[in-house]
Chains A and B, each alone.
Chain A
Amino acid sequence: GAGVSQTPSNKVTEKGKYVELRCDPISGHTALYWYRQSLGQGPEFLIYFQGTGAADDSGLPNDRFFAVRPEGSVSTLKIQRTERGDSAVYLCASSLMGLEYNEQFFGPGTRLTVL
């Protein structure tokens, strides 16, 4: 079966522009997560969805960041007025709800570069 997919794999944009990053989770996975990984660091949590709703958005750094999952499957992470400090690899992960243990499956990431 297909794993988590993310598009685009690379995105280069200019400071101040708007970007959208897409995530397709594993079919049947109701939990979806976004993480951000900067150079030399581990992934840092941004937001997670249970179904269509954002159950925890405590990791979003500021109001320029927003994510949606309108039909409970595909999710889009949106970044407004991008800044150079937003440059990082954005990782998406999904997992099955209802399991006792929370094993998350990651996509390959989108490398965002803000010039």
Chain B
Amino acid sequence: DQQVKQNSPSLSVQEGRISILNCDYTNSMFDYFLWYKKYPAEGPTFLISISSIKDKNEDGRFTVFLNKSAKHLSLHIVPSQPGDSAVYFCAASRTGTASKLTFGTGTRLQVTL
């Protein structure tokens, strides 16, 4: 049972435009969500997170939106840059304890010139 889903395996965006990556979850106990970025042969790198008490969190070019009623979150990157080309993983967990992360299957973003 896939509790965190990223239904788009890949996305191609032109440099300077907005990239929107989507993630859905099924477990209503999740209340903390993270996005990780992964380059080949490297471990995932933390990008941005959001708690369920918020519906938006922004950090520079990256913004994460959370829609709790729809159990949906999205990552917006604007403007997209070629260095953003990587695999992006959505992950979910429960706050209050050092608990495990449940990951989606990832979306490969390609930013073209």
Residues of A near any B CB (own CB < 8 A)? 4, 31, 33, 35, 40-45, 48, 50, 55-56, 59, 91, 93, 95, 97, 100-109
Contact = CB atoms under 8 A, between A and B. Distances in A.
Contacts of A107: 43
- Taking residues whose C-beta sits less than 8 angstroms from the other chain, chain B's interface range is 20 to 34
Interface of B: 4, 6, 32, 34, 36, 41-46, 49, 51, 89, 91, 93, 95-106
Given A91-B43, A103-B34, A107-B43, A43 B98 contact: no
Contacts of A95: 98
A41 B98 contact: no
Contacts of B101: 33, 35, 43, 45, 102, 104
Nearest to B97: A102
Contact of A56 (B42, B100, B103): B100
27 contacts: A35-B103, A40-B105, A41-B105, A42-B6, A42-B89, A42-B105, A42-B106, A43-B44, A43-B101, A45-B102, A48-B98, A48-B99, A48-B100, A50-B98, A55-B98, A91-B44, A93-B43, A97-B98, A100-B95, A102-B97, A102-B99, A102-B101, A103-B34, A107-B43, A108-B42, A109-B42, A109-B43
Nearest to B6: A42
Given A103-B49, A106-B43, A109-B43, 7 more contacts: A41-B105, A42-B4, A42-B89, A42-B106, A56-B100, A102-B98, A106-B36
Contacts, number: 67
B12 to A, nearest CB: 18
Nearest to A59: B100
Nearest to A29: B98
Nearest to A30: B98
A4 B43 CA distance: 9
Contact of A31 (B36, B91, B98, B103): B98
A56 B99 contact: yes
